[in-house]
Amino acid sequence: MKLQQADLDYFARGTWQNPQFWRRFGGQPDFDGARVLDVGCGHGSMVIYIARAGAAKTVGLDLNCELIAFANANLAQNYPDLAPRVTFRCQDLRDYPEDAAFDYIISKDSFEHIIDLRGMLQEMKKRLRPGGRIYAGFGPLYNSPFGDHDYTKSRIPWRHLMLGEEMLVARVNHRWKTDHIHSLHDLGLNGLSLAEYERIFAESGLKIVDFRPNSSEKLVSKLFALPARFRPLREYFTFNIYIVLEKPAR
Ligand SMILES: C[S@@+](CC[C@H](N)C(=O)[O-])C[C@H]1O[C@@H](n2cnc3c(N)ncnc32)[C@H](O)[C@@H]1O
d(CA 236, CA 38): 29
Residue 51 domain-assigned? yes
If you take atom 16 of ligand 1, which residue's CA is the nearest one? 114
Structural domains counted in the chain: 1
pLDDT the model gives residue 246: 98
- Ligand 1 centroid, distance to 227 Cα (angstroms): 30
In a domain, 55, yes or no: yes
> Does residue 149 belong to any structural domain of this protein?
no
CATH number of domain containing 96: 3.40.50.150
In angstroms, the CA 84 to CA 126 distance is 25
User: 131 Cβ partners below 8 Å, 6+ apart?
Assistant: 246, 247, 249
- For the stretch 154-213, pLDDT in tens is 999 999 999 999 999 999 999 999 999 999 999 999 999 999 999 999 999 999 999 999
Q: Where are the alpha helices (DSSP H) in the chain?
A: 5-12, 14-23, 45-52, 65-78, 117-126, 159-163, 165-176, 194-202, 219-225, 231-234
pLDDT of residue 200: 98
CB 29 within 8 A of CB 104: yes
- Using a 6 Å cutoff on CB, does residue 108 contact ligand 1? yes
For residues 144-158, average pLDDT:
95
In three-state form (DSSP H/G/I as H, E/B as E, the rest C), the secondary structure along 8-50 is HHHHHCHHHHHHHHHHCCCCCCCCCCCEEEEECCCCCHHHHHH
86 - beta bridge partners?
58
Structural domain boundaries, residue 116: 5-142+188-246
64 lines ligand 1 (CB under 6 A): yes
The residue whose C-alpha atom lies closest to atom 23 belonging to ligand 1 is 40
Say if 182 falls within a structural domain: no
Is residue 217 in some structural domain? Answer: yes
Q: How confident is the model at residue 250 (pLDDT cuts 50, 70, 90)?
A: confident
Sheet-wide strand order for 35-39: 86-90, 57-62, 35-39, 102-108, 128-138, 241-246, 207-213
> Which atom of ligand 1 approaches the CA of 107 most closely?
6
Predicted pLDDT at 231: 87
The verdict on the CB of residue 50 being under 6 Å from ligand 1 is no
Query: For all residues of the chain together, what is the average pLDDT?
Result: 97
How many angstroms separate the alpha carbon of residue 28 from the centre of ligand 1?
21
Tell me whether residue 84 is in a domain: yes
pLDDT tens digits for 22-37?
999 999 999 999 999 9
User: What share of the chain in percent tops pLDDT 90?
Assistant: 94
Please state the rounded mean pLDDT for residues 107-123. 98
Nearest in space to 227 (alpha carbons), one of 138, 110, 143, 113? 143
pLDDT digits 0-9 by tens, 59-100: 999 999 999 999 999 999 999 999 999 999 999 999 999 988
Confirm or reject: Cβ of 48 under 6 Å from ligand 1. Answer: no
Question: Before 140, cis peptide (omega within 30)?
Answer: yes
pLDDT tens-digit series, residues 213-237: 999 999 989 899 899 999 889 999 9
Q: Which of 77, 65, 60 is nearest to 14 (CA)?
A: 60
Domain presence at residue 183: no
Query: How far is the CA of 161 from the CAs of 147, 180, 191, in angstroms?
Result: 9, 21, 11
pTM comes to: 0.97
Query: Residue 163 domain-assigned?
Result: no
Separation between Cα atoms, residue 141 and residue 97, nearest integer Å: 31
For atom 4 of ligand 1, the residue with the nearest CA is 42
Q: What is the mean pLDDT of residues 138-153?
A: 96
Measured in Å, residue 63 CA sits from the centre of ligand 1 at 7
Q: How far is the CA of 164 from the centre of ligand 1 (A)?
A: 24
For the Cβ of 60 lying below 6 angstroms from any atom of ligand 1, the answer is: no
**Would you state the torsion angle of the CA atoms of residues 214, 218, 223, 224, taken in this order, to the nearest 10 degrees?**
-20
